[in-house]
Amino acid sequence: MRMKKRFGLLAAAVALTASSAAFAAPTFLNVLTGGTSGVYYPIGVALSQLFSNGIDGAKTSVQATKASVENLNLLQAGRGELAFSIGDSVDDAWNGVEDAGFKAPLTRLRAIAAIYPNYIQIVASQESGIKTLEDLKGKRISVGAPRSGTELNARAIFKAAGLSYADMGRVEYMPYAESVELIKNRQLDATLQSSGLGMAAIRDLAAMMPINFVEIPKEVTDKIGSPVYQSKPIPAGTYDGQDADVMTAAITNMLITHENVSDEVAYQMTKLMFDNLPRLASSHSAARDIRLETATQGLPIPLHPGAERFYKEAGVLK
């Protein structure tokens, strides 16, 4: 009888230990961002800190990537839990547009929020003489990593303006910081960068040498024929030496997850972000444009049920 009792107690202890271990299992949250000199990265770091402190058992990490296209493919493969992406890449991923870097539709993707707009910012050294899109002909330009969100934006803008890569003197596929270094060293004339306003790489370039900001006229943006592209100004004073508004094209950025992330975790990620917007704004000025009232607008893929629950509680969705 004593032996049976001992075995019963032992079994109960084993069951309790197993239950406790399962309950205490950490929640791994990998946040996929972009290059460290861009905007995705500092906001991603701030989000990971919020998740680490606000989600029980969360173990967070931040991964610097080539941004949108790579991030979405990583999510589909389950190699991340939250990712930044530009809106047109999300649309292309959902529809499996191969030319945009997606071999098949990425149907596991789910939306968390539409966040701040990316502005297509074309800057050139003053000594290059580049002031308009037409002036880019025969010049040396960097357009972002191959098939990145930035590079896809470059293709769309140039096509709408009646230009192509063949018109350029040389096209480099370089990330933000590397592009700026090449301009400083007189090895490039211009760079196209799709990012939030006040990005570190352009601030650095503007502080080091005189630069020109190349306008993308509204008629060019309209010719793209996509609702995700809007004509917006880069406000005067955003960068050193920029004394006037510069009209350009803007595309909404999004935070994306995948269907295997639990409803509770997706809910907590969404809630923590909107409960802490001032903290995100302190990580980068672009985050000041994140708005609860626009977070569910223009999403080309379904919301994650956990995020949807938050928006219903917040009164954004019925």
Q: What is the pLDDT of residues 117-149, one digit of tens each?
A: 989 999 999 999 999 999 999 999 999 988 788
Question: Which domains can be identified in the chain, with CATH numbers?
Answer: 26-117+253-313 (3.40.190.10), 118-251 (3.40.190.10)
* Residue bearing tokens 């409960």: 275
Q: What is the pLDDT of residues 259-312, one digit of tens each?
A: 999 999 999 999 999 999 999 999 999 999 999 999 999 899 999 999 999 999
DSSP 207-235: HHS-EEEEP--HHHHHHH--TTEEEEEE-
| Whole-number pLDDT of residue 24 | 52
Q: Round the average pLDDT of the chain to a whole number and report it.
A: 91
Q: Average pLDDT of 31-36? A: 94
Q: For 302, which DSSP code?
A: P
Q: What is the pLDDT of residues 149-170, one digit of tens each?
A: 889 899 999 999 999 999 999 9
| Integer CA distances (angstroms), 73 to 69, 109, 111, in order | 6, 9, 14
| Angstrom distance (rounded) from CA 66 to CA 243 | 32
- What is the distance in angstroms between the CA of the first residue and the CA of the last residue of the chain? 61
Q: What is the pLDDT of residues 53-89, one digit of tens each?
A: 999 999 999 999 989 999 999 999 999 999 999 999 9
Residues sharing a CB contact under 8 Å with residue 166, sequence separation 6 or more, in sequence order: none
Count of Cβ atoms closer than 10 Å to residue 79 Cβ = 14
